[in-house]
Amino acid sequence: MKRHGWLLLCIGVIFGFTLANTAGKITRKKVKAAQDLFGISFDNKAIDTMLEYLSRNRQGYESMHDFPLENDVSPALIFDPIPVDYPITQNEGLNDWKVNETAVMPDNMDELAFYPILDLAGLIKTGKISATELTSHYLERIKLFDDQLLSFVTVTEALALAQAKRADEELAQGIYRGPLHGIPYGVKDLAALPGYPTTWGAAPYKNQVIDQTANVVRKLEEAGAVLLGKTVSGTLARGDVWFGGKTKNPWDLEQGATGSSAGSGSATAAGLVAFSIGTETLGSIISPSTRTGSTGLRPTYGAVSKHGFMVLSWSMDKVGPICRSAEDCALVFDYIRGQDPSDKTTKEANFRPAAFSNIAQLKVGIFQDLFDRDSSATGQNNRRTLTELAEMGIQPIPMTLPDSFPFAAFDIILRAESGAFFDELIRSGGVDQLVEQHEGSRANSLRQARFIPAVEYIQANRHRSKLILSFHESIKDYDIILSPTYGGRQMLITNLTGHPALSLPNGFDDKNRPTSITLIANYFAEDKLIALAKAYQTQHRYHGLIPKPLK
């Protein structure tokens, strides 16, 4: 009976969703052909007993197509990676941020675009520059440089100037919303914003307008931030290629910014925004931050609301800041984090980035074997960083990544969930309009999703549960784990488990392109990531630099 049930599910998926002629009769021959895809075999008698059942299954699948699903409808099964005995510290609200009121205007206005947020906030609060003037400065830089970078898909100039004007008027009335008051930023074009296209980086959606405001955008607006525009997402959150071209790395205009938050990474590093918002499913905050020399914070799964963002994977998507320093990341994260009734995966947790005054007291682990294997320029920078951390009192303890898991199967989790979200795109043939159609493209990934049996998706998530427990047990007694950014399966594992990570710039390769090291922490321990990264950046300046091609 178990084998029959498994076959009914997997054959139902293949025939219910992939045959071009769905009205065609399901025959023994078709079932036998489908069996080969899944490595199973039933005799003719067993197959014949299933034919009517499979036909009824397909009718059920087809009936769902008559009931549209809005983008913000998530599955009834909610992913929650947090162990039942894991303590989540009660949220005590926003931190008490002190803006730098002694900040002064630079002689070279180009430098202003690269100022830390708290310095920009100090200039605005003390009236040394208005929010409108600062916004106009960033808008001019977008006009000057973005034709080369392709980091913006939509510039919301009218909205930005209106928000900046409001910020100035409020300040004149004695209303100050905090350190993000009047600070210009960009948001990845997966986030909905009424009145403007939300293109998801894909040609079929380039005129799509969603009458909804993403929760993160709403929170930033309430904090007084000024939205300069929608930064480029690679096609449906894959890579740096979108319907307008390839988003470039400001440090090397011949190179893509990589990762689907390419626009956010590029715009931040180029000083076209004070900060930006990205998303990550399998590396799209960490990767573009590394490539562009930005500091990117991928929060704990559930720390920041995903409401209003395109879904690539309900159980893997995270929203987080891409900035020019760890302190900037902490500030932005503080304002966007927290529970949201519209996103049932979110949780309240405390965040106190100033709580760790002595970073030498942090217990730090290291995936030593991953560092030892890398002889490239990146590896050399990583080893120098370990020396610099040792000089700061950090003595990491060697540890290893879990390895006894079916890692080749975990990809079906993302593909199955994205296949469900883009159901209509695939069935309508709109997937054929995507720019990239090669073997590794998003279009091909979505088509393949139709061939994933429901049982195998569930089995992969059962193995994922074991992976989550294994990784949690291995790191729970540490404050921070050090890893090469692209070392082994670290990025895959930590995205599956939902642990937070931070991309820390640590130098340049032999072509003067940025490199990074990655810091990993326990669930909702972003404060420890920030503490170590800020301490490092206080002593070593590899972050927030002006890219030479733009000087």
Q: What is the CATH number of the domain that holds 251?
A: 3.90.1300.10
pLDDT of residue 323: 98
Mean pLDDT of 54-60: 87
Alpha carbon distance 222, 420 (integer Å): 33
9 shares its domain with 122? no
What's the count of helices (H) and strands (E) in the chain, helices before strands?
A: 19, 15
- 262 part of a folded domain: yes
Tell me the C-alpha distance between 327 and 133, whole Å: 24
pLDDT given at position 371: 96
CB hemisphere CA count around 382 (13 angstroms)? 27
Is 75 a domain residue?
Answer: no
Rounded Cα distance, 503 and 501, in Å: 7
Kindly state the tokens that stand for 265: 């990474």
pLDDT digits (tens, 9 = 90+) for 416-451: 999 999 999 999 999 999 989 998 899 989 998 988
Name the β-bridge partners of 501.
298, 520
pLDDT band for position 182 (cuts 50, 70, 90): very high
The pLDDT confidence band at residue 3, using thresholds 50, 70 and 90, is: very low
pLDDT tens sequence across 249-282: 999 999 999 999 999 999 999 999 999 999 999 9
Flag whether 451 is in a domain.
Answer: no
pLDDT band at 502 (very low <50, low <70, confident <90, very high): very high
Domain presence at residue 216: yes
DSSP 319-374: EEEEESSHHHHHHHHHHHBS-BTTBTT-------TTS-S-GGGS-EEE-HHHHHH-
- DSSP label of 283: S
Render pLDDT for 515-541 as a digit per residue (tens, 0 to 9).
999 999 999 999 999 999 999 999 999
Residue 52 has pLDDT above 50, yes or no: yes
Residue 281 included in any domain: yes
Same domain for 195 and 60: no
Residue 485 CA to residue 387 CA, distance in Å, equals 17
Residues 40 and 154 placed together within one structural domain of the fold? no
CA–CA gap between residue 283 and residue 152 (Å, rounded): 20
Mean pLDDT within 469-483: 97
For residue 10, give its domain range: 1-67
Average pLDDT over residues 395-410: 96
Q: Are residues 20 and 155 in the same domain?
A: no
* Total Cβ atoms within 10 A of residue 65: 12
Summarize the confidence of residues 360-368 as an average pLDDT.
96
Split at pLDDT 50, 70, 90, the class of 57 is confident
HSE at residue 448, side-chain half, CA atoms within 13 A, is 14
pLDDT band at 39, cuts 50/70/90? confident
* CA-based radius of gyration for the chain: 24
Whether 334 contacts 299, CB under 8 Å? no
| pTM recorded for the entire structure | 0.92
Write b or e for each residue in 427-450: b if 16 or more Cβ atoms lie within 10 A of its Cβ, otherwise e: eeebbebbbbeeeebbbebbbebb
More confident residue, 66 or 225: 225
Helices (H), 173-234: 215-222
What would the DSSP string read from start to end of 468-510? Answer: HHHHHHHHTT-SEEEEETT-TTHHHHHHHHT--EEEEEEEE-T
Question: At residue 47, what is the residue type?
Answer: I
Judged against a pLDDT cut of 70, whether residue 7 lies above it is answered with: no
> Mean pLDDT over residues 227-240, rounded?
97
pLDDT category at 18 given cuts 50, 70, 90 is very low
Instruction: Say whether pLDDT at 4 is over 50.
Output: no
Q: Which among 67, 86, 119 is the end of a domain?
A: 67
pLDDT at residue 287 greater than cutoff 60: yes
Tell me the C-alpha distance between 117 and 326, whole Å: 11
Calculate mean pLDDT across residues 217-227. Answer: 98
Which one has a higher pLDDT value, 159 or 31? 159
| pLDDT at residue 192 tops 70 | yes
Q: What pLDDT was estimated at residue 376?
A: 87
- 360 and 468 together in one domain: yes
Question: For residue 551, what pLDDT is reported?
Answer: 66
Residues 58 and 203 grouped into a single domain: no
pLDDT at 421 (0 to 100): 97
CA neighbor of 33 nearest in space, from 9, 60, 56, 15: 15
pLDDT of residue 109: 92
Query: Which residue, 182, 183, 190, is CA-closest to 153?
Result: 190
Is 83 among the domain residues? Answer: no
Give CA–CA dist 386/501, Å, rounded: 17
| 43 CB neighbour count, 10 Å cutoff | 7
3-state secondary structure of 401: coil
What pLDDT digit, counting tens, does each position of 63-121 carry? 988 898 998 899 999 999 999 999 999 999 999 999 999 999 999 999 999 999 999 99
pLDDT at residue 16 is higher than 50: no
What does the alpha-carbon distance between residue 300 and residue 280 come to, in Å, rounded to a whole number?
A: 11
245 and 386 housed in the same domain: yes
67, 90, 121 - which closes a domain: 67
State whether 218 and 324 are in the same domain: yes
Q: Name the DSSP letter for residue 305.
A: -
Cα three-residue angle 92-98-100, rounded to 5 degrees: 160
Domain membership of residue 431 (yes or no) is no
Q: Maximum CA pair distance of the chain? A: 85
Q: What is the mean pLDDT of residues 7-16?
A: 44
Counting beta carbons within 10 angstroms of the beta carbon of residue 471, is it exposed (0 to 12), middle (13 to 18) or buried (19 or more)? buried
pLDDT value for 65: 86
Indicate if the pLDDT at residue 10 is higher than 50: no
When the pLDDT of each residue in the chain is averaged and rounded to a whole number, the result is 93
- In the predicted structure, residue 483 carries a pLDDT above the cut 50: yes
Confidence of residue 466 (pLDDT cuts 50, 70, 90): very high
Residues 6+ apart with CB under 8 A from 438: 444
**Is 92 a domain residue?**
no
Q: Specify the pLDDT at position 11.
A: 43
Could you tell me if 52 and 148 lie in one domain?
no
Encoding tokens for residue 293? 């020399």
Q: Does 153 share its domain with 258?
A: yes
Among 67, 83, 118, the domain boundary falls at: 67
In the chain, the number of structural domains is: 2
- pLDDT at site 22: 44
Using the predicted structure, report yes or no on whether residue 173 has a pLDDT greater than 50.
yes
DSSP helix/strand/coil, 421: helix
Assess whether 116 and 255 both reside in one domain.
Answer: yes
The pLDDT of residue 440: 85
On whether both 127 and 52 belong to a single domain, the answer is: no
